[in-house]
Amino acid sequence: MRRLSLFIVSAAAALSLQARAETTPVPAPPQVAVDPATAEPEVKIIKRGEDTIEEYRLNGHLYMVKITPSVGLPYYLMDEEGNGQMRQIDPVRRVIIPQWVLLRF
């Protein structure tokens, strides 16, 4: 008799927990803030004939274009000053100084 009453009490507790679990809504996942310092660039690859153009954007701002022709070496166009004017960068003939963004306002 004691085992039967223990079984009935545990079954009732399990059913009440199951009923609570079914009525409790699942909370939405928290919004994840993207740190601009760790954000990766968005790369858009465009095929024109046999040439490949890769556009690199960060926060919607186009800052570099890599052009890979079907014949020859790839070359880069970079917006060094942030004004939207692209300049050709030849890594073979020019020493490129590393430029890190420490703070952006």
Structure tokens at 68: 């890979």
Strand ranges for the chain from DSSP E:
42-48, 51-58, 61-68, 75-78, 87-89
In a domain, 62, yes or no: yes
In a domain, 29, yes or no: no
Amino acid type, 83? N
Largest CA distance in the chain: 93
Amino acid type, 18? Q
Rounded to whole angstroms, how far apart are CA atoms 68 and 78?
15
| pLDDT per position as a tens digit, 11-68 | 777 777 665 555 667 788 787 766 666 678 889 999 999 999 999 988 888 888 888 8
Q: Which of 64, 75, 67, 72 is CA-nearest to residue 51? A: 67
Domain residues for 52? 42-89
Q: Report residue 74's pLDDT band, with 50, 70 and 90 as the boundaries.
A: confident
Percent of the chain with pLDDT over 90: 10
How many domains does the chain divide into? 1
pTM: 0.51
| pLDDT per position as a tens digit, 42-52 | 899 999 999 99
In a domain, 77, yes or no: yes
CATH at residue 81: 2.20.130.30
